Amino acid sequence: MVKLLLADDDARLSDLIKEYFDGEGYEVAHAWNGREALELMAANMPDIIILDVMMPELDGFETLKQIRNKSAVPVIMLTAKGDDIDRILGLEMGADDYLSKPFNPRELLARIKAILRRASQEREDDPTADIELSGVLLRRKDRTVYLEDDLVELTTSEYTLLECMLMAPGQVLTKQELSEKALGRKLTMYDRSLDMHISNLRKKIGNLENGDPRIKTVRGVGYIFVSNE
């Protein structure tokens, strides 16, 4: 049974989500604020976390920050409708996806399934097939990434994006291709989530010794991981 942790102080919405996901066979834990969410997470690590931005005591951003200090568990942020700043900040801080309120629970379910399906597919891959390229070591056995021997903390989406590109070094991967492989969905108009994840990934893995970025943009097409070997 999938364990879902929902952190939201909206009683009506929380009841609706809990009832819906209970019916889908999920084990749902509910927290009224970020502090409670962190306590529940420590007691019983969930498979995925749904995190509202606006909460008392500890808001969604600070909660996400503390989660990322400890874990790469998938996180979906719930933001106010049309609030691009909340959405962008969430992605910059390591959220795997976002959903604007109000939303259809069925859409939330679809996004959760896409993220979990992606994680499951990764687990089926050869756990011994580490990939090392251009100073980046990706250890698939324990899903860790090292940059020049230093551990790099990546989210689930960032890890999967990096893995996709490391498996095809020097090749242009289209945005559509990366979105389907790494985010589990087709890229839609005005969807900037892929670009935000790439931007975060670039910051974390830095540049090559000659100063060139490890991930280059192919304008209007997609991205390419540069191999210096």
DSSP string, 31-51: ESSHHHHHHHHHHS--SEEEE
The confidence band for 84, taking pLDDT boundaries of 50, 70 and 90, is confident
Residue 184: is its pLDDT beyond 80? yes
What is the DSSP code (8-state) at residue 219?
Answer: T
Reported pTM: 0.68
Look at residue 126 in the predicted model and tell me its pLDDT: 63
Helix, coil or strand: residue 16:
helix
Look at residue 74 in the predicted model and tell me its pLDDT: 87
Cβ atoms of residues 105 and 19 within 8 Å: no
Distance CA 190, CA 156 (A): 22
Helix, coil or strand: residue 55:
coil
- Count Cβ atoms within 10 A of the Cβ of residue 210 and give its class: 0-12 exposed, 13-18 middle, 19 or more buried: exposed
Look at residue 187 in the predicted model and tell me its pLDDT: 84
Among the listed residues 61, 57, 97, the one whose alpha carbon sits nearest the alpha carbon of residue 76: 97
Residue 199: is its pLDDT beyond 90? yes
Look at residue 182 in the predicted model and tell me its pLDDT: 85
Cβ atoms of residues 93 and 101 within 8 Å: no
Task: Give me the mean pLDDT over the 69-78 stretch.
Answer: 85
DSSP string, 106-162: HHHHHHHHHHHHHHHHHHHS-TT--EEETTEEEETTTTEEEETTEEE---HHHHHHH
Tokens representing 157? 């989406």
Residue 229: is its pLDDT beyond 60? no
Give the whole-number percent of the chain exceeding pLDDT 90.
50
